[in-house]
Amino acid sequence: MESYNYLKSLHLIFVITWFAGLFYIVRLFVYQIEAASKPSPEKEILQKQYKIMTYRLWYIITWPSAVLAILFAISLLYLMPEWLSQPWMHVKLGFVFLLILYQLKCQQIFSQLQRDEVKYTSNFMRLWNEGATIILFAVVFLVILKNALDWIYGVVGIIAFSVLIMLGFRFYKRIREKNNS
């Protein structure tokens, strides 16, 4: 069972680096989008630098971390197949699926920005950045509380947390707009 603890530790390490990559990549998207509206030569200089930064983050940290986190998770499920019969694990795997979809959408945005295609606003990206945060909160509470989690309170809690994030986003946007005027 010692291998279980090593696998669990490695899984956790790569989940952390995966989320770190997802949090930072979207922040870099915000900067890339805002750089696109700068005057020359500042625009070209910033875009070139952000492309390098996002490329390295995406392909050296985020994608490898995602793949390794998933591989170690599969290894853990192989060692502990009884987890697959537990309801909390079904919900967790649902959130992991959402996280993978989130990453794939980030891949699409990354590819567009690498081609200098700006299809989203920086405000949209700031809000999009909270998607990974909501998934992280849900998964951590789910894994820690497992069956003790009251599903109704959990759903209400995630909705309330999402509303708080939206309110915080609007408040921050007003402050930024006030400071820019």
Q: What is the dihedral of CA 83, 84, 89, 94, to 10 degrees?
A: 160
Give the pLDDT confidence score for residue 149 in this predicted structure: 55
Q: Which residue has the higher pLDDT, 137 or 39?
A: 39
Could you tell me the residue ranges of all domains in the chain? 2-180
Per-residue pLDDT reduced to its tens digit, 72-83: 999 999 999 999
Question: Residue 150: what pLDDT?
Answer: 62
Q: What global pTM score does this model have? A: 0.85
> Does 146 carry a binding-site annotation?
no
92 among annotated binding-site residues: yes
Q: What is the pLDDT of residues 154-171, one digit of tens each?
A: 667 777 888 888 888 788
Closest CA to 166 of 140, 130, 139: 130
Mean pLDDT of 58-79: 97
